[in-house]
A = this chain, B = another copy of it.
Amino acid sequence: MTTTTLPDAGTAYERKPATYNATLTQVGRGTPMGELLRRYWHPIGVSADASEVPRKVRALGEDLILFRDRQGRPGLLYPHCAHRGTSLYYGRVEDGGIRCCYHGWLFDVQGHCTDQPCEPQGGLSRDRIRQPWYPVEERYGLIFAYMGPPDRKPVLPRYAALENLAQGEFIEANDQSIGGGGPQVIPCNWLQHFENVVDPFHVAILHSSFSGTQFVPQMGVMPEVTFDYTDAGVSATAVRRLDDGKTLRRVGEAALPTLRVIPSPRLAHYGTVESLGWVLPIDDTSFRIYTAGRVRRAGDIARSRSRMNGKLWEELTEEEHQRMPGDYEAQVSQGPIAWHSEENLATSDRGLVLLRRMFKQQLDIVAAGGDPIGVSFDPDAPPIVFAAGNFLE
């Protein structure tokens, strides 16, 4: 039997209502962060997702339909047909676009209406109709969309890490939310994950001492960490003194708006970062991650998904999730949107402090009519180079 003898200070009875920072987290059109995010290209599928079978896509809180016309062009349209609102998910893909099932209006990948078969002469006024659409481009096996103001559309960036291939290497894309520690769609706000990118300390606890050795033993050494601003975001340099006298210097970066630039925590190779991960906010309370990387064997990226005792996340029992938590459990359990009012940030949280500060600066720039960090309108801009990697010294 337990009897409380100390004074009962600090009980949960006295806590204040919790709040979250809506400005930093909400992604809808018209919200501050939603508008900042819309100044960049975001991947909304792998190339195979665009096919003759229309596919539902949700990005930044918007529902859209992705397809590929018979000329090979991907299209991304607002779901509800401009005529009467039937979803183009039930549309039929043709040479010239997608045709609504209800009355047959046909739209091309840019939303032009090119046929109205129930109207005289195929629709004398059809040119006045435009199905809402978004520009898309394909690169690195992914389909990127630009969902922002048309006159601010930047060029789709290239990255040195995905352009400079060694002999035998090729680029592979993946949609399994590698690095998220869970299923494809992760049910919490994207920022909870993105802040984790500049949080190297949790590697020594969550991924090493807590749930066994999730990666490799070296990762369990508590690092000395330096945080810095970069040209595109915030980097964390974690230095570990290893038993053999060598030093492991590991550099990761969170590049705005949502790019994970994280070298492999499995240390299969040393050197510069091999893959990039784009965190796509699906809406305010879910996200997913698209990855592209240099590989030598097909499936290498899928094989890098975390396992606990040899099991993938979806194979674990509830008790195993509880006893061997990973990024999914740590971040999703913060809540659909973490209660920022209840945080007690410490020195080890300096990475996310810098990242939030940079986001706020960029929100101000966009609110003032400017273009945020990292966007370029120069189609001849050189590929972006990151300092991230694992270096043994």
A317 at the interface (CB under 8 A from B): no
A247 at the interface (CB under 8 A from B): no
A78 at the interface (CB under 8 A from B): yes
Residue of B nearest to A111 (CB): B10
Residue of B nearest to A74 (CB): B2
Contacts of A329 in B (CB 8 A): 86-87, 90, 101
Neighbour of A15 across the interface among B78, B117, B119, CB < 8 A: B78
Neighbour of A150 across the interface among B9, B130, B335, CB < 8 A: B9
Closest CB in chain B relative to A313 CB, distance in Å: 13
Residue of B nearest to A346 (CB): B119
A222 at the interface (CB under 8 A from B): yes
A232 at the interface (CB under 8 A from B): no
Instruction: List which A1-60 residues lie within 8 A (CB) of chain B.
Output: 1-4, 6-15, 18, 29, 38, 53-54
Docked CA distance A343–B100 (Å): 14
A213 at the interface (CB under 8 A from B): no
Docked CA distance A72–B339 (Å): 31
A204-B118, A222-B117 known; A13+B1 contact, CB < 8 A: no
A330 at the interface (CB under 8 A from B): yes
User: For chain A, what secondary structure do more than half of its interface residues adopt (helix, strand, loop), or is it mixed?
Assistant: loop
Assign chain A's interface to a size class.
35 or more
Closest CB in chain B relative to A60 CB, distance in Å: 10
Contacts of A218 in B (CB 8 A): none
Instruction: List which A77-136 residues lie within 8 A (CB) of chain B.
Output: 77-80, 82-87, 89-90, 92, 101-104, 109-111, 116-120, 123, 125, 129-136
Closest CB in chain B relative to A250 CB, distance in Å: 16
> How many monomers of this protein are in the complex?
3
Contacts of A12 in B (CB 8 A): 62, 64, 77-78, 132-134, 147
Closest CB in chain B relative to A212 CB, distance in Å: 12
A307 at the interface (CB under 8 A from B): no
Neighbour of A343 across the interface among B85, B149, B349, CB < 8 A: B85
A1-B137, A10-B111 known; A86+B331 contact, CB < 8 A: yes
A150-B7, A205-B104, A344-B129 known; A339+B134 contact, CB < 8 A: no
- The answer to whether B13 and A205 touch across the interface, beta carbons within 8 angstroms, is no
A360 at the interface (CB under 8 A from B): no
A342 at the interface (CB under 8 A from B): yes
A371 at the interface (CB under 8 A from B): no
Contacts of A111 in B (CB 8 A): 10-11
A73 at the interface (CB under 8 A from B): yes
A139 at the interface (CB under 8 A from B): yes
Closest CB in chain B relative to A27 CB, distance in Å: 14
A→B interface (CB under 8 Å): 1-4, 6-15, 18, 29, 38, 53-54, 62, 64, 72-74, 77-80, 82-87, 89-90, 92, 101-104, 109-111, 116-120, 123, 125, 129-139, 147-150, 153, 201-202, 204-206, 209-211, 222, 319, 321-323, 325, 329-331, 333-335, 338-339, 342-349
